[in-house]
Amino acid sequence: MSMFFQDTSTARRRRLTMAGLALPSILMMALVNGYPVVVAAVQSVHDGGLLKLGDFVGVENYIRVFQDPLFWKSLRFTVLFAMCGVFGSWVVGFALALFLRTRFPGSAIFRVLLLLPWIVPIVVTAMGWNWLVATRNSIMPQLAEALGFGPVMFLADPTMAVITVCVFKIWISYPFMMMMAAGALETVDQSAIEAARVDGAGPWNLLVHMILPMTARSTYISWILMTMFSVNDFPTIFLLTGGGPVNATSSLVVMAYRTVFQDFQPGYGIAITFVITTALAVLSLCLFNLIRKSSVS
């Protein structure tokens, strides 16, 4: 009995020591991360400018967010942009990861080339895409006209601008998904795959009923990360279209930026960002629930 109480006391002292060592780091992290959030929350309930806090307006800025037609237009584009970023880049990345499991001459160089859209700075990539599509004399409009589609304005027409920005997002995001999928495919049990193949399972059945379920956990994690990357993605949109034409490619982040730094309404702009954060938190909880279910199964 005395040995039991002695072990319990030792374990309690060890836990207290560990907590005491970790406490300064926890307080520092809470201060560094918490202070900006508190300041932003205070600003979101005031109607001041960039330099003055202004008058207290309560939840008026948050009510105004949901009454603003531009917010709903930006929300629709953000959802479309995020879905293209997540599922479009996942399909391309997963297909390339499966293809790269095949050994062929020059495969190592091919892998490096596939990572270029991710490695090259976004400014350089956006300049390259602007050179391809921005004006009527660019390569893609000239090619479209030569093929009989007429004068196609990739960035001046609202519909074409949305399509171009979404394709651009897939282009710069698929290397990340390819890397995640390649890592997940390395964990697939090859003996189970071979056993299923011996039993007559074809490539499609192997993919749908074995490979995808085995890699589901990694897939859900990549979806969560890419959803956050896409919703918070500012440079991809702003460098290509600036949110135009006529706000057709204005995401919520671009709208918040314009509201704070161009319209000088930080309270309203920060209220938009808090709405984005809340929506992302709810979505992440749903996807984490999917991860938990996939782990159980």
Q: Is the pLDDT of residue 2 over 80?
A: no
At residue 6, the pLDDT reads 60
Q: 227 near 86, Cβ under 8 Å?
A: yes
Query: Mean per-residue pLDDT for 101-125?
Result: 84
Residues 73 and 244 sit within 8 Å (Cβ to Cβ): no
Lowest mean pLDDT: which of 75-84, 108-117, 218-227? 108-117
Nearest to 177 by CA among 108, 248, 87: 87
Please state which of the ranges 38-47, 83-92, 98-107, 246-255 shows the lowest mean pLDDT. Answer: 98-107
Quote the CA–CA distance of 118 and 264 in Å, as a whole number: 33
Prediction pTM value: 0.84
Write the DSSP symbol of residue 84. I
Q: What is the mean pLDDT of residues 198-217?
A: 87
Residue closest to 48 by CA, chosen among 268, 255, 261, 257: 268
Q: What share of the chain is helix, strand, coil (3-state, %, to 5)?
A: 75, 0, 25
Greatest mean pLDDT among 4-18, 93-107, 261-275 lies in 261-275
- d(Cα 184, Cα 106) in Å, to the nearest integer? 23
Query: What pLDDT was estimated at residue 18?
Result: 82
Q: Which residues pair with 56 in a beta bridge?
A: 46
Query: In the predicted model, what is the mean pLDDT of the chain?
Result: 87
- Phi, psi torsion values for 39, nearest 5 degrees: -60, -45
Output the pLDDT for position 119: 86
263 vs 278: CA distance, rounded Å: 24
Q: 46 - beta bridge partners? A: 56
Using the predicted structure, report yes or no on whether residue 4 has a pLDDT greater than 60: no
The tens digit of pLDDT for each residue in 148-202 reads: 888 888 888 899 999 999 999 999 999 999 999 988 888 888 888 888 888 888 8
Q: What is the pLDDT of residues 15-58, one digit of tens each?
A: 888 888 888 888 888 888 888 888 889 988 998 888 888 888 88
Confidence of residue 295 (pLDDT cuts 50, 70, 90): low
Q: How far apart are CA 148 and CA 252, in angstroms?
A: 36
- Domains of the chain (ranges, CATH numbers): 6-60 (no CATH), 67-295 (1.10.3720.10)
Sorted by sequence, the CB contacts under 8 Å of residue 125 that are 6+ apart come out as 117, 171, 172
For residues 209-232, average pLDDT: 89
State phi, psi for 220 to the nearest 5 degrees: -65, -40
Q: What is the pLDDT of residues 229-261, one digit of tens each?
A: 999 999 999 999 888 888 899 999 999 999 999
pLDDT band at 269 (very low <50, low <70, confident <90, very high): very high
Amino acid 296: pLDDT = 58
